[in-house]
Amino acid sequence: MKVFLSSDMEGTAGVVDWQQCVGDGPEASAGRRLLLAEVNAAIGGALAGGATEVVVNDSHSTMRNLPADQLAGRASYVSGSHKPLYMMQGLDGSFGAVLFVSYHGSVGAPAGLSHTYNPRAVVEARIDGAVTGEAGINGLVAAHYGVPVVLVTGDRCACEETAALIPGVHQAVVKEPVSRLAAHSMHPESACELILERAREAVAAAAHAEPPPLDPGVLELSVRTTDIAEAASWVRGVDRTGPRELRIHGENRLATYRAFCAAILLTRPVAESV
């Protein structure tokens, strides 16, 4: 069974500040080491659960946070910016399971480093009326290809938000949010042990899991300014339904996701100018 692993970073045990997530300073280097250990734990668990191949998509920031030669299990590595499917690049119908590792809570949620793709643009995101974070949005791609999302790891908020949209997903809660810049984290070794075991269980049971039930998968966004909303509406499949409200519904769930990514990319300069 092929397993697809999308790794973010803010949900890693011990990571609580943006300096641990961005740039090349000593704190960022330490954060990447913590992330690598959790990714490798998930790979190890997937292999123990029956995976024959693991593809890791680095989905955080510039998307080149993991040393390719240190990935466990000879996992292949999708890295770098401007990927057409962003956090889900590399997934297709040949996979048997999807793992979300080191995910965080949605923008506005009481969770550490909470945001949804671009914190300067997105105020709230909803799928079929339910508030979602990045896991739910990324789940649109898994739903399109008919691949089950079987594991999410990260803070409690991220795991609970994912489970609300994808019932039955296995969870590895590695830290409890205290504020947006504070958390009570498990010891990294304990966090990795938990992730390994949950990944093993999730992949072992993947044959009986269902793809995310995101149907029809209409994505609605509230954005920070009217200028952001106007620019986003230039993207095919994105309709402006209010001064700062957007509705995204493509011809299928993959088209919806691609329209969302295009809107995020197009509006970045506008969002950063205010």
1-25 confidence digits (pLDDT tens): 999 999 999 999 999 999 999 999 9
Dist CA 149 CA 126 (whole Å): 18
How does residue 274 score in pLDDT terms, banded at 50, 70 and 90? low
273: confidence class by pLDDT, cuts 50, 70, 90: confident
How far is the C-alpha of 173 from the C-alpha of 166, rounded, in Å? Answer: 16
> ∠ CA 170-171-176 to the nearest 5 degrees?
170
Q: Is residue 24 part of a domain?
A: yes
Q: Has residue 138 been placed in a domain?
A: yes
User: Which amino acid is residue 248, in one-letter code?
Assistant: I
Answer whether residue 218 is part of any domain.
no
Q: Is residue 47 part of a domain?
A: yes
Q: In the prediction, which pLDDT does 192 show?
A: 98
The catalytic site residues sit at: 115
Two structure tokens written together for 213: 């039930």
- Position 23 in a domain: yes
Structural domain of 104? 2-115+134-208
Tokens read off for 90 = 């590399």
Q: How many structural domains comprise the chain?
A: 1
For residues 137 and 263, the answer to whether their CB atoms sit within 8 Å is no
129 is a domain residue: no
pLDDT of residue 147 exceeding 70: yes
Three-class DSSP category at 103? strand
Q: CB of 102 within 8 A of CB of 196?
A: no
User: What pLDDT shows up at residue 64?
Assistant: 96
Indicate which CATH number applies to the domain containing 169: 3.40.50.10780
Query: What CA–CA distance (Å, rounded) separates 105 from 134?
Result: 8
Whether the per-residue pLDDT at 254 is higher than 80: the answer is: yes
Whether residue 229 contacts residue 246, with contact meaning beta carbons closer than 8 Å, is answered with yes
| pTM tops 0.95 | yes
Is 96 part of any domain?
A: yes
Q: Is 8 exposed, middle or buried (0-12, 13-18, 19+ CB in 10 A)?
A: buried
Return the DSSP state at 16. Answer: -
The reply to whether 215 falls in a domain is no
